[in-house]
Amino acid sequence: MRILAIESSCDETAAAVVDMGPSYRRILSNVVASQVDTHALYGGVVPEIASRAHIEAISMITRQAQSEAGLSLKDLDAVAVTHTPGLIGCLLVGVSFAKALAFSAGLPLIPVDHIKAHAAAAYLSHPHLEAPFSALVVSGGHTSIYRVPTPSTFEEIGGTRDDAAGEAFDKVGRIMGLPYPGGAAMDALAAEGYALLETGDLKKIPLPSPALRDCFDFSFSGLKTACVNYMHNYRQIHGLDKIDPIPHEEKVRVAVSFTDAAINGICKTIRNVLQYTHEKTLVLAGGVAANSHLRKAVLSTAEKHSAALYTPSIQLCGDNGAMVGAQAYFEYLAGVQAGTGLNAFASGEAATICPAL
């Protein structure tokens, strides 16, 4: 089944063509136009600017996805689009565009949940992955744990009660003066920190765990605030002004201390989830799943519980259209289709009662 999939929930305008079937999962094209450089000026995504940038890019990106796949509209079997959750103005651009395209070409329209799509990226990197599995989706906007009994059924069993993991990575990076989004730079700094920890040349900062007791929930806001306070105190003690650069060694210490606390909290919760669900298959997905230290630690946690870990390739961890196409295939098999009444919803819960579906 050849699906043209569109993603515009945040600051990436993306379109892809995937070819999915019972025994094959192929990415024919996967085009992503990132707005990161624009939003870096403001230290975070500005919703109104993001929506306008999607409007400017979406036709060209979709055309490019079709041309790279070598397919015209008549060769396609369906159009898919992320309709929830995300920034409402951004979602509306993708949803309106996809509705018009599907209607004009007489193709079925498949609405897709962005979080499910992140987990579905793992199908593309691992052709033999099948539900049931447990999934942890860690991104800039979301951090949630699901039981996934069938590919289109996601039962949330835990998640963050405040900040998403990626949001915390970005905030700590920003306070250290790293370019937005800080996740990848934090990853590299933490690598230096782990090497120094091994040789005994660095001491970690004691920080609170994001894992909450007796549940599968997280709180990343306390961990983030502890890092922010540490940096403020450091500046005061060393007589540094707000704009004075923090010494590199101190950035390394904060990055590795934050990363280690975040990873230990996540792995502790994953251990509890695997014990509770008795599941032997785990999916780790979302933008933060690109973190090299997190990937290693979750793999070792899964192995200790005799569970197999499936993580999308690094290129498929961040927002992209192929992951939307992969999830759309399973939604279609489950009978999910939308008409021209399809709407966008900023939060996932609202979408479950969407009358248009």
Q: Which residues bind ligand KG4 (CB under 6 A)?
A: 10, 139-141, 166, 169-170, 181-184, 186-187, 286-288, 290-291, 318-319
DSSP secondary structure letters along 117-168? HHHHHHHHH-TT--SSEEEEEE-SS-EEEEEEEETTEEEEEEEBSSS-HHHH
Q: Which is nearer to ligand KG4, 78 or 117 (CB)?
A: 117
What does 325 bind: ligand KG4, Zn ion, none (CB cut-off 5 to 8 Å by kind)?
none
311 contacts 289 by C-beta, under 8 angstroms: yes
DSSP letters along 63-101, please?
HHHHHHHT--GGG-SEEEEEEESS-HHHHHHHHHHHHHH
Phi, psi of 21 (to 5 degrees): -155, 180
Min CB(301)–ligand KG4 separation in Å: 17
Q: Which amino acid type is present at position 177? A: G
- Residue nearer to ligand KG4 on the CB measure, 175 or 290: 290
Query: Nearest CA to 159 among 114, 216, 85?
Result: 216
Residue 113 contact, options Zn ion, ligand KG4, none, Cβ 5-8 Å cut-off depending on partner type: none
Taking the C-alpha atoms of residue 257 and residue 38, their distance in angstroms, rounded to an integer, is: 30
In the bound complex, what is the minimum distance in angstroms from residue 12's beta carbon to Zn ion?
8
**Which residue, 181 or 325, has its beta carbon nearer to ligand KG4?**
181
The secondary structure of residue 211, as a DSSP letter, is B
Q: Residue 291 binds what, of ligand KG4, Zn ion, none (CB under 5 to 8 Å, by partner type)? A: ligand KG4
Least separation, in Å, of the C-beta of 179 and Zn ion? 19
Q: Are 206 and 61 in contact (CB under 8 A)?
A: no
From Zn ion, ligand KG4, none, which one binds at residue 85 (CB under 5 to 8 Å depending on kind)?
Answer: none
Choose between 14 and 148: whose C-beta lies nearer to ligand KG4: 14
Q: Which residues bind Zn ion (CB under 5 A)?
A: 139, 319
In the complex with Zn ion, the residue whose CB is nearer, 115 or 297, is 115
Q: What is the closest distance, in whole angstroms, from the C-beta atom of residue 166 to ligand KG4 in the complex?
A: 3
